[in-house]
Amino acid sequence: MTDHNIPAAEDVSEDDFETVGDYHRIAAHHFAAAAKHHLAAAQADDEGDDEAVVRHAHLAYRHQLHAIQYAEVAAMESQDLDDSSDSSGVTDAD
Cα 85 from Cα 83, distance rounded (Å) = 5
The answer to whether position 8 is within a domain reads no
Tens-digit pLDDT profile for residues 33-49: 999 999 999 999 999 99
Domains: count for the chain: 1
The answer to whether residue 65 sits within a structural domain is: yes
56 is a domain residue? yes
11 part of a folded domain: no
62 lies in which domain range?
19-81
Residue 78 has a pLDDT of 85
pLDDT in tens, 82-91: 666 555 555 5
| Cα gap 69→1, rounded to integer Å | 19
pTM: 0.69
**Count of CB atoms situated within 10 Å of the CB of 70:** 24
Query: 5 lies in a domain?
Result: no
Q: Within a domain: residue 54?
A: yes
Note whether residue 51 is domain-resident. Answer: yes
The DSSP string of the chain is --TTSPPPGGG--GGG--SHHHHHHHHHHHHHHHHHHHHHHHHHHHTT-HHHHHHHHHHHHHHHHHHHHHHHHHHHHHHHHHHHHHTTS--TT-
